[in-house]
Structure formats: structure tokens, C-alpha cells
Chains A and B, each alone.
Chain A
């Protein structure tokens, strides 16, 4: 038991410590790049997964889909990204890796009730750069660090009153910190190499609901709706030079977030899926006197297809799940007054083990976001996602 505790604790810490890297996470009016991963299986299918029945892997958004599990499940996700950023006169490549969430679910009343928790990255900011300035006063280099993340923790309860329907309610708790740090470096010793830091802390509760419906055999429809949370927002200004730490508190929120998706198994091993998720990002974050001119509604649309494995076969391709898909969306930000779009192709595999009670999923996503002429920068990104979903009769033995 203690081994499990330590393992979970380690994973939670690792999740919160993660960072990613994108030029488009530098929007000063935003709270970082929106992160949206349903499951790694779904990411292999074009970022879908809201209406994709799965008895092994736990969905981060459509909690009602957890009703398919038969034993205690845990799903943990991690990713590795390579981003090639092209500006007007230079390009650079960055690579980062980080955990992307975990879900734990316990079916405490067979086929009817599931209780679980979830921890999901919500936004991530990490972009650091040097800019050189030549002014009549002095020449200097300013290094800017935009860092931090916002995460969502959930406590979930899933109810399946009839075999064709599942509904879930979630208590959400949002928390995180964004940090803008500035370092000034001067050649002239008469000028002090100073630094300055502004930190934005968010925390507060919210609620969400989700559903999963099988209106007809092999057709699944799922969706979720996250209400506006009530956030407490604190701005902390720190200057090591002045020694002053100032705190300003305000109320804030996150825009309504919803998504709907569907899948259809049109042959014993073939399933197609399509998802659409939307967030009213352009409405801002409920903080008074804050400019939202460079915010845009966030959305993601994806389609995908999966060829499922077949049990008890020796052919390699039939022992694993094969997936592919395509997605498009808006990042929720304007750069150079133009919205930033994203397009990507997806591939993925699933490797079941322990008699289909566990699975390793891997997806690869290659995409393009932004336009150098319209958004100052264009990024080619390559993203590997890994997840492990495992089953265990943990807790259920207590019944």
C-alpha cells in the first residue's frame, strides 16, 4: 500500500511541475496555451474521445464515459513535444516533456456507480526570450520569462441508471500560478542589472456535468459542460531590488467550456469518431478593467478512425489498436490582430495487456499553428503522448 501511495504522490508532483513551450503561450492578455487531451487513444484519433466507449482508459473530460470500467482504473499521461518556431528572420527548435494528467476511478456499485478523481493541466505558459534594446539612455538586454500553469482537479461521481446512459457530476477545483519575470542586463556598470516579477495566483471551485449515451447499438454520443468557476485571483508583484511585495486580490472566472463527440463502430474492428469542443475564451476571465482585445474563442474539431485489436490472435497488427485522425482548432488568442489557428494530423497505437485490463497508448501528432505573415510566428509541432491505463481490484475488495 505504501508503494502505491508514494507512486501516486510522485506522479502528482511531477504533473504539477510540468511545462511546455510555445511562442503563442506568450499572450499577455491570456493565461497560457489551452491544453485539451481527452485520452491518448482519442488523441490518436484526431483529438476525439468524448463519445468513445472505453473500458480501460479514463477520459479527462467526459467523466460519464467512466461507466464502462469494471474494476478500479488509473490512467496517467505524459507527453514529449518538439516545436520548431519560425519568426520573420529566425527559427529555433525547443523540446520539452511533461506529464499531462491522471485519472483514478473506482466502480463501487457494479455497472451503476463510479467514483473517481482527476487531475488535468488546463493551461501552460512557458516562453522565454532575450530582446536587445538601444535607447538614448543605455543599451541593454531584457530577458523575459513567461512561466506557469493552471490545472483542474476533480472529484467525480458517475451514475448509470440504465445500460444505455451514463451521467456524471464533477466538483472542480482550479489552481495554478503564472509568473512573468523580467531581467535587465546592462553593459554600463553605472546601471543596475535588475529583475522584476509579477505572479498571478488562481484558485477556486467550479462544477461540471457530462453524459454518455448509446441510443443505438455501436453508436455512442458523449459530452461535457463545465460551468464558470468562481476563482479567487491574486496578483503578487515582487522586486528583489525594491524588496517590495505587493498583493492585489480580485474575483475571476474561466469561460464556460463544453464539448460533444460521437463514435460509431461500423465493423467489428472499425470505429470512427468526431468531436467538437468550444470555450468562450474571448469573454476573458471575469477580472474588471482587463483588456480582452487579443482573446478569441477557443475551439477544437477532430475526426478519427480506429482499427481495434482482436483477442487471441498471433498477427502483430491484430494484437494492437491502430488509429489515425485529423484535427483543427483555434488557440484562443490573436497575434498581430489575427486569430491563431492550428491544424494537425494524428496517429496512434494501443497495446493491451493483462487480458485487456490494461493498455499502453501512444499517439503522435504533427501539426502547424500560426502563420508567419498573420501571427508573427509559425510553429511546426510534433507531439508524442503516452498513457498507461491499468486495472486493479483495489477498494472493490472492501465491499
Chain B
């Protein structure tokens, strides 16, 4: 027994010795000895869309958390901002309110032609509201018989502040709202107008340039006029209208929610590669009709997501998993089409979107192009959107192939198996 054990231990020691110099892998070959048939090969291809459509979501976007308040009329959109100020605790109970003004700070973003203006009038809101998508806005929810004050909305970018001085009726309303006993009857006011031919953006609540209500008052002990700023408790913009669409285009739009849906023939592609492929990069190129698009703002929030249901489904489902999208924000060199943002997004489109769908190409639903509120935060489409943009994409029916939407794939074809 002792001899046997001695031999076994000796063998183990030799084993450890023999492994002490194990080889250095892999070898960096200076010249390619093995041909691509053995090593696999990197290829690329262009797949043109075989189906395309525009899918419209009729529900409105909630603007209560929007960074901007829109007012005006442009490109099919009409928007009215609404406010509710209810925190008057800065004003002493003994104060006599002398005057009140609404101050709005204009954002640098707007669609205007210089030298134009329109008059906006404040009217009291009639029913309780929490956002623009509340049902109370389905009918007229303000009292046009009670103008509370007027302000001029200018298209001039130099006019960075717009002020509305409340009239006598407006002042009475402010005094009424300042009384905490009337809190339940404070529904705020809306800025309305008869007509406008531009859209102006103002900063909204929590943007850093909050709308503010400046209240002037005197105290019984003094004739000095004091001022305090009342922050808004709630704001939003109420919008309506219709996207100005033209024929033979697909649309992606922000406030009016339109999605462009595209499907590519993955089955035909995969038929050529029975052993499968690895998609290393993907790029979606979608030619744009710039004359019929408004894309000055929010382009960074134009994204591509995976479809979860068939493109022709009456109730299309999009995989809106937070963060699971890629940005479609890169203009081509000739500015004729939009493409996936270079870098990791193209890798992500390949890995997360295209490759998993190749498992069963017969079920491949396609891609959806739409706007989200913020590509940076990945907030969902249903959240507030702080811009009004829409993009008109050429449909696949275009004769010129340069105008057809297409998917460019870079893929690796594995070598044929040994057996």
C-alpha cells in the first residue's frame, strides 16, 4: 500500500511540474494563413423596407411636467398655457393687495417670424384640473366673459420676458384666491387668444425660470408698497390641432403621437445563411422630406424601438422598456436622411433589436420610430414632451431607391462547421 501511495504522489508532483510551463495563447499571426471559409467573414448588406406605415396614437401627451409652456398657433398645433397659483402664504393676512402681474420668461426655442405678435387674454378656469389630459378640457373650461388681463406675445427673440398685468377683475380674483378659505374655488387661469401665426415657448414650472405671479400690497402700518413672488402650484399647456400631413409619407411626431413603423425581410436575408449570422452593427437610414417636417427642436429625442406586435395590427405594441431604444439623430453627410447615432447606438441596434429577432424571422415584427420626451433620461413616450416636432419620412413606394427607408447590417458569417 505504501509503495502504491508513494508512486501516486510522485505522479502528482510530475503532473504539477509538467504544467508549470503551459503555453502562451493565442499566437498573433502576422500573416493571415487561414482563409475566410475557415475563419468566417465580415459582410454587410442593405435591406429595404418591405412594409411601412404610420401608426397614430390618439391619446394626448401630458404636458404638466413639460419644461416649456407653449402659446400660439403653428404647423397644425394650437396651444394655450394654464396656471394655478395657490400658495399665497408670503402675503400677510393683514395685507391689502394693490396689484398683480404674471411674468413669463421666454425660452430661446420657438418657431417665429420676427416682428409678429398677438394678444393673449387671461380667463378664469371653471373646473378643477390637474393636467391638460383631464376630461374637463374636452369642453370649454374657462369663462370668456371674465377677462382678467392681457399680454402681448411677441415673436421677437429679443423679448425675453412677457408680462400680464391683471385688470380690476383680475385683481379681485387674485384677492379671492389669496384667501385660504377660497382654496377649493381656485382653479387658476388660462391664457387664450383669438388667432396666432407663430408658436412661442416660455419656461414652465421647475425649469429654473418659473412663471411667477408678482403681488404688490401694503400693510396697515405703512403706506409702502411691498412685493412678493408667488410660485405656481401647477401649470401645463392645453393643445389641440392636427398634423399637416402629405401623401406618401410616414410620420413621427411629438405632441400628436405618430409612429413610423418599418418592417424588413429578415427571413429572406437569413435564408442565405443557414448556419446563422452574428449581427455586429446595424444602421437604420430613413430619408426625410424636410420641406414637410418640423425638426428644429427635439431631434435628439427621435428614437427607434422594437415592435412587439405585427406592423398591421390594429393595436400596435412597442417594446418601450425604459432605456431600450437607440437614437435616430444623425443627419447623413448630404442631409437627405436620418440615421442611427454613430457609435454604441448602432451596436445596440444590432445586439438588442435585430439579433434577437433572427431566432424566428417569420415572427419578426419590425421597428418603430417615434419621439420620446428625453433620450437622456429615457422617459417614456407618455410623459410630457417639451417640443413640437414632426418628421415626414418618405415611404418605401418611392421610385428612387435613395429615398427608400433601409436597414444596413454589418454581420459576421461563421465558418462552416467541421461536421
Q: Give residues in A with beta carbon < 8 Å to B.
A: 3-4, 7-8, 10-11, 14, 19, 21, 26, 28-31, 74, 76, 78-80, 85, 87-90, 92, 94-99, 126-133, 135, 137-138, 140, 142-145, 178, 180, 182, 184, 186, 188-192, 194, 196, 198, 200, 233, 235, 237, 239, 241-244, 246, 250, 252, 285, 287, 290, 354, 358, 376-377, 386, 388, 390-392, 394
Contacts and interface: CB of A to CB of B under 8 A. Distances in A.
A5 to B, nearest CB: 10
A144 B39 contact: yes
Nearest to B275: A237
Given A94-B24, A244-B276, A198 B3 contact: no
Nearest to B278: A194
Given A21-B23, A390-B7, A130 B419 contact: no
15 contacts: A7-B11, A74-B4, A76-B11, A80-B21, A88-B31, A89-B31, A98-B19, A131-B29, A137-B42, A137-B410, A140-B42, A188-B281, A200-B419, A250-B419, A285-B419
Nearest to A132: B32
Contacts of B28: 129-130
Contact of A129 (B5, B26, B347, B358): B26
Nearest to A286: B419
B15 A14 contact: yes
A251 to B, nearest CB: 11
Nearest to B36: A133
A194 B412 contact: yes
A392 B1 contact: yes
A145 B415 CA distance: 13
Contacts of B31: 87-90
Nearest to B34: A131
Main secondary structure of the interface of A (DSSP, over half): strand
Contact of B34 (A74, A95, A144, A196): A144
A97 B351 contact: no
Nearest to A186: B280
A193 to B, nearest CB: 8
Nearest to A144: B39
B342 interface: yes
B418 interface: yes
Interface string B7-30: 111111011011111111111111
A235 B182 CA distance: 79
Contacts of A126: 23, 25
Contacts of A11: 8, 11-12, 15
Contacts of B33: 87, 131, 376-377
Contacts of A189: 343-344, 347
Given A4-B4, A28-B38, A194-B280, 11 more contacts: A4-B1, A4-B8, A31-B418, A76-B7, A78-B14, A87-B29, A88-B31, A128-B26, A145-B25, A354-B3, A390-B7
Contacts of B32: 131-133
Contact of B355 (A29, A182, A241, A376): A241
A198 B417 contact: yes
Contacts of A96: 21-23
Contacts of B358: 242
A41 to B, nearest CB: 16
Nearest to A15: B15
B346 interface: yes
A250 B417 CA distance: 13
Interface in B275-298: 275-276, 278-281, 283
Nearest to A377: B33
Contact of B27 (A8, A31, A88, A92): A92
Contact of A190 (B3, B11, B343): B343
B276 to A, nearest CB: 7
A142 B29 contact: no
Nearest to B5: A3
Given A138-B410, A190-B342, A4 B5 contact: yes
B47 to A, nearest CB: 15
A203 B9 CA distance: 31
A184 B280 CA distance: 9
B410 A78 contact: no
Contacts of B419: 200, 233, 235, 250, 252, 285, 287, 290
A57 B123 CA distance: 107
A19 to B, nearest CB: 8
B144 interface: no
B4 A99 contact: no
Contacts of B23: 19, 21, 94-96, 126
Contacts of A138: 42, 280-281, 410
A7 B13 CA distance: 12
A126 B22 CA distance: 12
Given A79-B18, A184-B412, A392-B1, A145 B26 contact: yes
A242 B276 contact: yes
A107 to B, nearest CB: 16
A21 B22 CA distance: 10
B266 to A, nearest CB: 13
**A-B pairs with lowest CB-CB distance, top 5:** A97-B18, A128-B26, A7-B8, A128-B25, A94-B23
Contacts of A188: 281
B344 A128 contact: no
B40 interface: yes
A341 to B, nearest CB: 19
A358 B297 CA distance: 87
Interface in B324-379: 342-347, 350-351, 355-356, 358-359
Interface in B29-71: 29-34, 38-40, 42-44
Contacts of B40: 142, 182, 196
A331 to B, nearest CB: 17
A78 B8 CA distance: 13
Contacts of A394: 1, 4
A377 B359 CA distance: 40
A370 B355 CA distance: 42
